[in-house]
Structure 1
């Protein structure tokens, strides 16, 4: 253990979309060496299993209705442990700086004089699209891609005009519970009701599902299929792209992997 007068480092590590094989080498090495791992609830158990046997694992899982630990307390935890001389791996699903509040945690550490290293991860959007073989950009149909959060304060007041439609791809994080509001909002902004939509649930995991509908049919798709987080919503012409293996085949592969 380092001297308490010299804070240890907080590593903000991206865990990617869920498959341990998609971790960066740096992320895997830090995880296997760490004595303390502070992790999100959406980090797959197979990734946490890479931690050393004597590592201390602290879950700070968040959900729409319940937070195990408020963000301010997470910030304080990271600072407190680092100031005690304990290096901390702060493990986040996807990438720490894309809807991961990594910026807030880095700011808290900097303010307290705690060293920070950011280890990027494959973002949920990029990992999910790749797993479903949906290109987020395509020479024939999309030259612009945007990421938005579908679960945040003031959703209805946000201006999304121009983010979806012809030549554009919109990827929505955390949009499962607000799918009806999202569909209504985009159609009011002029996006065609028949615009293709793909919902990718549990991307890059054995239980992955790729579900497709039109924008107008998004709320019924989410409720009818009982979609749960983690899931991303892809809106745009690229969502109609079919991979070499159809969605039924992908589901069969998932079942085989589980069995």
Structure 2
């Protein structure tokens, strides 16, 4: 039997809703010989995988590290050499805080063919599902997407820079640093800036808390919000409430 060409395809699984994976991603899953998937990947997506493929759960969520990154890198190369086409299935988009680029670089250095299938990033889709636009004419001309925790386990210095701007700020993996984030925005006089925190976005388990910089920590405690969650700071958060109010008024008129 002819040996298969060792290959890695890094695939974005989207933010959680199974309908938000791309057609190209599904096609690649059907061609896989091995699939390494993360904790943030909706397990229902595994139904699209080639039934003959080997499935390997590799964790990769805070408090859920079944494999360290170095072990994952080695596993990709080992399975590629022995099995052929390895698909690395990651939540969201693999190039937005997904370490997809690192895995591709490692695989390429070990003579594997590499490719990527972009995914819909949770940083964009999760706010959108809650009717929060990251840009809106007259409210926000740009947005920042920032990791809440760097590889040194510190809050990114970019959060302090973003707090000085008028842009919408989206922080991933930042719940453990929420108090620090709040202090940075308070320091810039943005006590009343709207904030939304969305947990398990785009899934049936989705929960949301909406408040201001001054009130959000209390709301998080009251609602029991925790990881995985996305923090959105900016005037665009108010768009959600405005839409809800309009919908309520339309409903009331229909009843009358």
TM-score tier by shorter-chain length is 0.7 to 0.9
Runs of 4+ in 1 over 6 A off after TM superposition: none
Q: Distance in 2 between matches of 1:2 and 1:215?
A: 61
Q: CA, structure 1 residues 156+102, in 2 after alignment: closer, same or farther (shift >3 Å)?
A: closer
Residues 1:84 and 1:194: Cα distance change in structure 2 (over 3 Å):
same
Distance 1:151 1:109 in 2: 26
**Alignment map for 1:122-137 (pairs within 5 Å):** 122-137=120-135
Q: Hey, what's the Cα distance between the residues in 1 that align with 2:183 and 2:192?
A: 13
In structure 2, what is the equivalent of residue 33 of structure 1? Answer: 31
Gaps of 5+ in 2: 249-256
RMSD: 2.1
C-alpha distance after superposition, 1:7-38 (max 9, x if no partner): 42111000000111111111011123323110
TM-aligned CA distance change 1:43 to 1:130, over 3 Å: same
Q: In structure 2, how many angstroms separate the alpha carbons of the residues matched to 1:2 and 1:193?
A: 65
Give the corresponding residue for 2:159: 160
Structure 1 residue ranges without an equivalent (≥5): 250-259
The structure whose Rg is larger is 2
Q: TM-score, normalized by length of structure 1?
A: 0.86
In the other structure, the counterpart of 2:10 is 12
Equivalent position of 2:175 in the other structure = 176
Give the direction of change, closer, same or farther, for the CA distance of 1:23–1:2 in structure 2 (3 Å limit). farther
Looking at structure 1, the residues matched to 215 and 199 of structure 2 have their Cα atoms a distance apart, in angstroms, of 17
Q: State the TM-score, normalized to the length of structure 2.
A: 0.87
Query: How many residues align structurally?
Result: 244
1:185 corresponds to 2:179: no
Distance in 2 between residues matched to 1:126 and 1:159, nearest whole Å? 19
* 1:200 is the counterpart of 2:195: no
Q: Distance in 1 between matches of 2:153 and 2:204?
A: 35
In terms of fraction of residues, the more helix-rich structure is 2
User: 1:231-242 alignment to 2 at 5 Å?
Assistant: 231-242=229-240
